[in-house]
């Protein structure tokens, strides 16, 4: 886009943006003729993708601000009215709205609520910050037609976002995602209403305990051994961090009600959009748990737990034999939870017929082996919890191939142990992990001991993840070039291991919907996957490798897996220029 086009779009934005801070920011950029920054803010519109919006906070059409949020909500409202014309005509459409601790989350959430209200859609707006899984729960509890949560999940502090949900509490999937995107891109007029008028007309409703209390009760109801907790609660010590986000209220309350002592990292307990104590508020990042582990060592904790800012992701660290703490990966945590759920259901005689778990195509292959060990099916889906929810939805309709859902997980620290929520739930994962820790403690074992036992059953599995960011206008083209090259000239080997099969899901494959994903199945059983991120300007690589445990024992298997993954890592880095 040439300079005149950038100036024209900037002036158009200034004319429409009612927030003085965002508007004046763009005016200052024009006055100082900061063309590089102006180009980045206006060369495109911030894309409303299949998961909603996510971007850097600031003025401009390629930023997160009130005008962009209002436009997105107007498009979503228009789609709802077309999707449910009878409910719209009767004034019975409704939406639930939650928000996290990020900068402008309160303002964006209320702006969205008022756009819904202006379109005749009742908005149920939480009174203060709440976790993403509670938003999903609220949609189902209140019978809403849609919902949004204002969050950028685990991104750095300069970001915010907007996740859109459908009436079953899951993020939108086809055909609704494409329909909503079309409406968002077609918005010409944004309907608005004053806050007091919306309240007076009953189109804006403020909620809190009427959803909080049922949600907390649900979390506690998913436990298998509440008696064990009551008996042994005093024996376990938990250190927890919400990483300046939304998790403290529910994690502390749910576990506290069970008689458990939760020691929350004081410097990270309160919501703070600056996330001042961490570089990235993401439990996937080892550094994010540094303060919690330090406190855990001081308190001699049995488990250190963390949730990300919107409390959908969950990570832990546990004491090891060397006197320190070992971080448990998302794949390992999924294995441990699956094992505990299957074991508990079997022991209690409640494992349903046709029981099944769901994981994503980039999650460790160990989970499928473990599920088979228990006689449980393991269904795969595309990356993202909305696809896990989509499989759940399909099964609930019945018919050929329908299963009974017992657990869902993805490698990026996401777990779902209930059906009342249709997104990953860090709060319920925290509660069940506490019970699981107590259970294995009662057997004289740690979680690491149990994980080693599972390696003996399933083989040793290790995973690799690599992400490469490509910022700016050229980023999408660079990532497309990488994917195109892989498609036109796929590697014959990765890490010196022959590629036995290539699965390209661009147009759908093996029952999976279309997605820009390539998978390389190596001759030794290793799987390498590559895909551009759907929410950030980066390309992501995943590898899952198994080494059988032979005469050399577990240590030899670990060394073999590490050697294979190091060679694969070298090949990937050569492609992405590292």
DSSP E strands: which ranges in 391-447? 404-410, 414-416
Q: Is 136 in the active site?
A: no
DSSP for residue 323 = S
- Residue 142's region, left for phi above 0, alpha for psi from -120 to 50, else beta, is alpha
Question: Smallest Cα–Cα separation from 217: which of 269, 258, 264?
Answer: 258
- Residue 122, SS3 per DSSP: strand
- In this structure, is the dihedral angle defined by the CA atoms of residues 289, 327, 417 and 380, taken in order, positive or negative? positive
Residue 123: partners with Cβ closer than 8 Å, 6 or more residues away: 94, 95, 96, 97, 112, 113, 114, 116, 117, 198, 203, 204, 205
Q: What is the gyration radius of the CA atoms in the chain, in angstroms?
A: 24
| Structural tokens at position 408 | 């869902």
- How many helices and strands, by DSSP H and E, does the chain display? 20, 21
Q: Per the residue annotation, which of 94, 153, 515, 544 is the catalytic one?
A: 153
- Residue 288, SS3 per DSSP: helix
Burial class (CB in 10 A: 0-12, 13-18, 19+), 461: buried
Q: What CA–CA distance (Å, rounded) separates 354 from 359?
A: 16
Q: What CA–CA distance (Å, rounded) separates 146 from 94?
A: 7
Long-range contact set of residues 319-328: C-beta below 8 Å, sequence gap at least 24: 319/446, 320/448, 324/297, 325/293, 325/296, 325/297, 326/448, 327/286, 327/289, 328/447, 328/451
CA distances from 152 to 25, 178, 192, 308 (A): 22, 21, 25, 10
Would you say how long the chain is, in residues?
578
| Structural tokens at position 560 | 């073999």
DSSP string, 506-555: TT-BTTBPP-S-EEEEETTS-EEEEEE-SSSSEEEEEEEEEE---TTHHH
Catalytic residues: 153
């Amino acid at each position: 886009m040439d300079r005149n086009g950038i100036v024209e779009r900037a002036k158009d934005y200034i004319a429409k943006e009612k927030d003085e801070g965002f508007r004046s920011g763009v005016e200052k950029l024009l006055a100082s003729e900061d063309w590089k920054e102006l180009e980045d803010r206006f060369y495109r519109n911030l894309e409303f993708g299949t998961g909603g919006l996510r971007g850097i906070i600031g003025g401009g059409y390629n930023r997160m601000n009130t005008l962009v949020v209002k436009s997105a909500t107007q498009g979503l409202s228009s789609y709802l009215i077309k999707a449910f014309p009878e409910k719209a005509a009767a004034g019975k459409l409704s939406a639930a709205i939650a928000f996290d601790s990020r900068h402008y989350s309160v303002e964006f959430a209320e702006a969205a609520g008022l756009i819904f209200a202006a379109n005749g859609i009742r908005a149920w707006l939480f009174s203060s910050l709440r976790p993403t899984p509670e938003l999903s729960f609220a949609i189902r509890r209140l019978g809403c037609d849609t919902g949004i949560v204002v969050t950028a999940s685990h991104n750095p502090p300069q970001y915010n976002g907007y996740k859109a949900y459908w009436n079953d509490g899951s993020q939108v999937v086809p055909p609704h995602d494409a329909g909503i995107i079309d409406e968002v891109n077609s918005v010409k007029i944004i309907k608005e209403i004053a806050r007091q008028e919306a309240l007076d007309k009953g189109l804006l409703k403020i909620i809190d305990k009427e959803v909080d209390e049922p949600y907390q009760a649900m979390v506690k109801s998913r436990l298998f051994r509440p008696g064990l907790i009551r008996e042994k609660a005093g024996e376990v010590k938990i250190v927890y961090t919400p990483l300046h986000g939304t998790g403290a209220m529910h994690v502390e309350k749910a576990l506290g009600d069970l008689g458990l002592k939760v020691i929350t990292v004081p410097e990270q307990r309160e919501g703070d959009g600056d996330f001042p104590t961490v570089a990235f508020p993401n439990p996937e990042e080892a550094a994010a748990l540094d303060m919690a582990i330090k406190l855990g060592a001081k308190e001699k904790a049995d488990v250190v737990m963390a949730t990300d800012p919107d409390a959908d992701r969950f990570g832990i660290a546990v004491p090891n034999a060397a006197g320190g703490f070992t971080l448990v990966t998302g794949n390992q945590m999924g294995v441990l939870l699956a094992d505990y759920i299957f074991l508990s259901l079997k022991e209690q005689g409640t494992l349903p017929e046709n029981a099944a778990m769901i994981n994503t195509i980039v999650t460790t292959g160990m989970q499928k082996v473990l599920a088979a060990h228990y006689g449980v099916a393991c269904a795969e889906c595309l990356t993202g919890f909305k696809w896990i929810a989509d499989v759940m939805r399909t099964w609930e309709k019945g018919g050929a191939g329908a299963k009974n859902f017992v657990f869902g997980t993805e490698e990026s620290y996401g777990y779902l142990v209930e059906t009342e929520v249709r997104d990953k739930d860090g709060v319920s994962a925290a509660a069940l992990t506490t019970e699981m820790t107590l259970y294995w403690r009662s057997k004289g074992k740690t979680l690491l001991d149990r994980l080693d036992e599972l390696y003996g059953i399933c083989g040793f599995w290790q995973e690799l993840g690599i992400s490469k960011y490509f910022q700016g206008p050229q980023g999408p083209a660079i990532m497309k070039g990488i994917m195109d090259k892989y498609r036109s000239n796929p590697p014959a080997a990765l890490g010196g291991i022959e590629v036995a099969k290539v699965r390209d899901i661009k147009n759908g494959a093996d029952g999976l919907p279309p997605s820009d994903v390539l998978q390389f199945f190596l001759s030794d059983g290793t799987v390498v996957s590559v895909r551009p991120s759907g929410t950030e300007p980066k390309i992501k690589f995943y590898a899952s490798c198994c080494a059988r445990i032979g005469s050399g024992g577990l240590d030899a298997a670990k060394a073999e897996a590490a050697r294979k993954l190091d060679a694969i890592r070298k090949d990937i880095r050569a492609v992405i220029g590292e």
